[in-house]
Every structure is written in C-alpha cells, then in structure tokens.
Amino acid sequence: MKPRRIGLLGGTFNPVHLGHLHIAGEVLKGLQLDLILFIPSGIPPHKENRGIPSPRHRMAMLRLAVSGTSQFKPCDVEIKKTGPSYTIDTLEALKVEYSDDDLFFIIGMDAFAQIQSWKEPERLLTLCNFAILSRPGHPFEALPKFGPFLRINRAALRELDRESRSSYRFETPSKTRMHFLSIPPTEVSATEIRALIKAGKETKKRLPQSVMSYIIENKIYNEDNNFEGFKGASE
Ligand code: ATP
C-alpha cells in the first residue's frame, strides 16, 4: 500500500481557532497530505503554564473544531501521557505507530524560530519531514542560524518574505525534507482570543461557532476551576 502523507499539528490549542484550521487547510493542499492529526500538548513546557484549561477541555474543543473535516483528526498521544510532553518523544512514538507512512511536522514560524531551545533540536529536525508556515509578524529571514547540520539558504527565506516565491524546500542529511511555505496570512492568535473573551468582546471571526458555544457553556475562561496549575518542565 502507498504510504499515506500525514501532517502532525502540535499546539496548546488554548483554544483551537480558525488560524489553526486555516494553516491545516493550506498545508493539506500545498503538500497533498492525506490526513492531519491535531495534537494538544499535555503539559506545555514553553508556555506560561498557569491558567491553561485542562487537556479534557482543550481536547473537547478540538473535537468540535475538526468534526466537519474527515481529513482532520484529534490525537491524544500527548495528553494521555503523564509528565512533560517533549515533541521529540511524541514524534518517536508516532513514527512507530505510523511506520508505513510519511510524516510531516507542521509548525508556524513563531514556534519554529524557538525550536533550538526544544529538547534535542538537531535530532528532532531530522526525524521526519517538516512543514514550516509563515505567520504575520514572524519573518522567515529572522530565523536564527542553525549549526552545520542544517544548511538553510537565507536568500530563499528572503524571497519567501518578499513573496517572490511561495515555497522553498531542501533535504536534510537524514533524507527528510524541510518545506518552508508562505501561506495567505491570518492574524488570529489564541492569546488575543483569550483576552477578547475575558473582556466580553466579539470573537466570531476567530473561532468556530461550536467552540465558542463550548467556551460559554463551560465558562472556560471565566472560572478558575477549569484550569490546571501546571508547573514548568521544559520542552
Ligand atoms: P498562543 O497565542 O497562546 O501562543 P497560538 O495562537 O500560537 O497560541 P498554538 O496552539 O500555540 O496557538 O499554535 C499551534 C501551532 O499553530 C504553532 O505551530 C503555531 O505557530 C501555529 N499557528 C497558530 N496560529 C497561527 C497563525 N495564525 N498563522 C500561522 N501559524 C499559526
């Protein structure tokens, strides 16, 4: 059987929003993926860990958000683990589970710019294919330099920022591929959504309606008992 092309979109999803669905749709089309797994983090090492709704609530919102698209599926690999979730461990587990398939780790430029502070970045970056997507305010050109294990063509990054090209890809020493994709911008962020909800303001254009209803019904951003006082661990 032909290997499936499976995207892995990790995130805090606090909450899942239309920006996530937008990038998933773009990469599904751009890289002809068959399926995208949305992977909410258990204990997110890189965020302000206090005040994050429980994995159960974030997973429930994710299920609602992807319910209309058969190629999008929530994946509980990180939330069912106890202890911190390191991306490298998640990828290794999924490589075993999907050993017949081609995996693509999907990540926005804001997160990718920090990747050298994650656990074992060199090994992580050559473990599977990567799809790195543009995000407003985070130019490709600002990417810190990597060591000799990754030779990124900086001129190609500048061309992506100037939109004189829409994608740039190269092969890593371990024969995985790294795809940089410039996609139509969406300004949506979870940080802004949380602030709007707390201020009682409109979020209609930023969230699926079903997710908004869940947030209201469960008072997700209004009651402290929905939060788990996670304490740090780092990625
Ligand atoms: P927060 O504002 O709380 O940091 P977020 O909106 O960045 O959250 P995450 O769940 O942290 O959402 O994001 C998961 C992944 O989706 C990350 O790789 C992030 O870069 C990417 N992403 C989220 N929103 C966008 C967007 N609008 N454009 C491009 N990438 C995005």
CA of 108 to the centre of ligand 1 (A): 6
> Does 31 have pLDDT greater than 50?
yes
| Closest C-alpha residue for ligand 1 atom 7 | 189
The CATH-assigned architecture of domain 5-229 is 3-Layer(aba) Sandwich (3.40)
What pLDDT score does 50 carry?
61
Q: Distance (Å, rounded) from C-alpha 232 to C-alpha 230?
A: 6
> Does 88 have pLDDT greater than 60?
yes
Ligand 1, residue 110: give the atom nearest the CA: 20
Phi, psi for 223 (deg, rounded to 5): -125, 130
Task: Please work out whether the CB of residue 49 comes within 6 Å of at least one atom of ligand 1.
Answer: no
What are the residues whose beta carbons fall under 8 Å from the beta carbon of 233, sequence distance 6 or more? 43, 45, 83, 84
Task: Please work out whether the CB of residue 133 comes within 6 Å of at least one atom of ligand 1.
Answer: yes
Looking only at Cα atoms, what is the longest distance across the chain? Answer: 52
Task: Please work out whether the CB of residue 183 comes within 6 Å of at least one atom of ligand 1.
Answer: no
What pLDDT score does 148 carry?
85
CA of 138 to the centre of ligand 1 (A): 12
Question: Mean pLDDT across the stretch 209-229?
Answer: 77
What pLDDT score does 225 carry?
43
| Closest C-alpha residue for ligand 1 atom 22 | 108
Q: pLDDT: is 83 or 123 the higher one?
A: 123
The whole-angstrom distance between residue 206's C-alpha and the CA centroid of its chain comes to 17
Cβ atoms of residues 31 and 57 within 8 Å: no
Which position has the token pair 């940089």?
Answer: 180
| Closest C-alpha residue for ligand 1 atom 28 | 135
Q: Distance (Å, rounded) from C-alpha 215 to C-alpha 196?
A: 12
Indicate the average pLDDT of the chain.
91
> Does 105 have pLDDT greater than 90?
yes
Q: Where are the domains of the chain?
A: 5-229
Q: pLDDT band at 81, cuts 50/70/90?
A: confident
pLDDT in tens, 48-78: 556 789 999 999 999 999 999 999 999 999 9
What pLDDT score does 222 carry?
78
Q: pLDDT: is 234 or 212 the higher one?
A: 212
| Tokens of residue 20, six digits | 């996530």
What pLDDT score does 43 carry?
66
Task: Please work out whether the CB of residue 135 comes within 6 Å of at least one atom of ligand 1.
Answer: yes
| Closest C-alpha residue for ligand 1 atom 19 | 108
Pairing of strands 129-133, 177-181: parallel
Ligand 1, residue 106: give the atom nearest the CA: 18
Closest CA to 157 of 189, 182, 185: 182
> Does 177 have pLDDT greater than 80?
yes
Ligand 1, residue 12: give the atom nearest the CA: 10
- Residue 214 belongs to what H/E stretch? helix 209-217
pTM for this model (two decimals): 0.93
Q: Distance (Å, rounded) from C-alpha 66 to C-alpha 159?
A: 33
* Sign of CA pseudo-dihedral 87, 75, 34, 100: positive
* Sign of CA pseudo-dihedral 17, 19, 24, 29: positive
Closest CA to 7 of 31, 96, 153: 31
Task: Please work out whether the CB of residue 23 comes within 6 Å of at least one atom of ligand 1.
Answer: yes
* DSSP code string of 120-189: SHHHHHTTSEEEEE-BTTB-GGGPPPP-TT----HHHHHHHHTTS-SEEEEE-TTS-EEEEE--------
